[in-house]
Structure 1
Amino acid sequence: MSFSGSYREGEVEFLLTPLPLQDFVDVADKEYLIQSGQRHYSEMLSPEVLPSQRYLDVFRQACAANNDRMARDCLTLAALIAARRDGAITVVSLARAGTPVGVVLTRLLNGVLERQAHHYSVSIIRDRGIDSNALAYILAQGHAAASLVFVDGWTGKGVIAAELRSTIATFNASHGTAIDGGLYVLSDLAGTAACAASCDDYLIPSSILNATVSGLVSRSILNASIGPGQFHGCVVYQQFAAHDQSQAFADAIVAAAEAQLSAGEGMQAAPSDQARAAAVSRAYMQAALRQHGIDDVNLVKPGIGEATRVLLRRTPRLLIVRDGGARDVAHLLLLAQEKQVPMLVDGALPYHAVSLIRSALDA
Structure 2
Amino acid sequence: MLKTQSKFISGTYPSTDVTFLLKIVTLEAIDNASKEAAIQSGLRHYSEMISFESVPEAGYMAIFYEAMSVGAARMGREVAALARSISNQMNGPITLASLVRAGVPLGVLLKRALSRMGKDVQHFGISVIRDRGIDSNAMRHIIERRPIEGLLFVDGWTGKGAIATELERSFHSFSAQPPKLVVLSDPCGRAWLAASGEDWLIPSGILGSTVSGLISRSILNEEVTGPEDFHGTVRWDHLMSHDISAVFVDSVWTHAVTALDRNIDLAQWTINDRSSHQRRSRQAINRIAAEFAVENTNRIKPGIAEATRAILRRMPQIVLLSSGEDAELAALRHLIREKNVQFQVVPKKIQPYRAITLIRKV
TM-score under structure 1 normalisation? 0.94
Given candidates 115, 120, 123, the residue that maps to 2:119 is 115
CA distance in 1: counterparts of 2:126 and 2:339, whole angstroms: 31
CA distance in 2: counterparts of 1:268 and 1:229, whole angstroms: 40
Cα deviation code 1:95-144 (max 9, x no counterpart): 11001110000001111x2212110000000000000000111123x211
Amino acid of the structure 2 residue aligned with 1:337: R
| SS class of match (1:219) | coil
Percent of aligned pairs sharing the same letter: 42
Question: How far did residue 269 of structure 1 move?
Answer: 2.3
Amino acid of the structure 1 residue aligned with 2:112: R
Matches within 5 A, 1:144-223: 144-172=147-175, 180-223=178-221
Q: Give the alignment's Cα RMSD to 1 decimal.
A: 1.3
1:131 maps to which residue?
A: 135
Given candidates 69, 76, 85, the residue that maps to 1:80 is 85
Given candidates 46, 62, 71, the residue that maps to 1:66 is 71
| SS class of match (1:67) | helix
Amino acid of the structure 2 residue aligned with 1:218: S
2:105 maps to which residue?
A: 100
Which contiguous aligned blocks of 4+ residues in structure 1 show a shift greater than 2 angstroms?
259-262, 267-272
The answer (yes or no) to whether the contact 1:75–1:257 under 8 Å persists in 2 is yes
Amino acid of the structure 2 residue aligned with 1:114: G
Question: How far did residue 84 of structure 1 move?
Answer: 2.5
CA distance in 2: counterparts of 1:211 and 1:40, whole angstroms: 21
Q: Does 1:4 align with 2:6?
A: no
| SS class of match (2:258) | helix
Matches within 5 A, 1:1-363: 1=5, 2-20=8-26, 22-111=27-116, 113-140=117-144, 142-172=145-175, 180-224=178-222, 225-262=224-261, 264=262, 266-271=264-269, 273-348=273-348, 349-350=350-351, 351-360=353-362
| SS class of match (1:170) | coil
The answer (yes or no) to whether the contact 1:148–1:179 under 8 Å persists in 2 is no
The answer (yes or no) to whether the contact 1:89–1:147 under 8 Å persists in 2 is yes
CA distance in 1: counterparts of 2:32 and 2:269, whole angstroms: 40
Question: How far did residue 265 of structure 1 move?
Answer: 6.2
| SS class of match (2:195) | strand
CA distance in 2: counterparts of 1:73 and 1:269, whole angstroms: 8
Question: How far did residue 89 of structure 1 move?
Answer: 0.7
Question: How far did residue 288 of structure 1 move?
Answer: 0.7
**Which blocks of at least 5 consecutive residues in structure 2 are unaligned?**
none
TM-score under structure 2 normalisation? 0.94
Amino acid of the structure 1 residue aligned with 2:157: W
Cα deviation code 1:263-290 (max 9, x no counterpart): x362332335221110101111111111
CA distance in 1: counterparts of 2:112 and 2:254, whole angstroms: 11
Question: How far did residue 259 of structure 1 move?
Answer: 2.3
Amino acid of the structure 1 residue aligned with 2:45: H
CA distance in 2: counterparts of 1:76 and 1:209, whole angstroms: 24
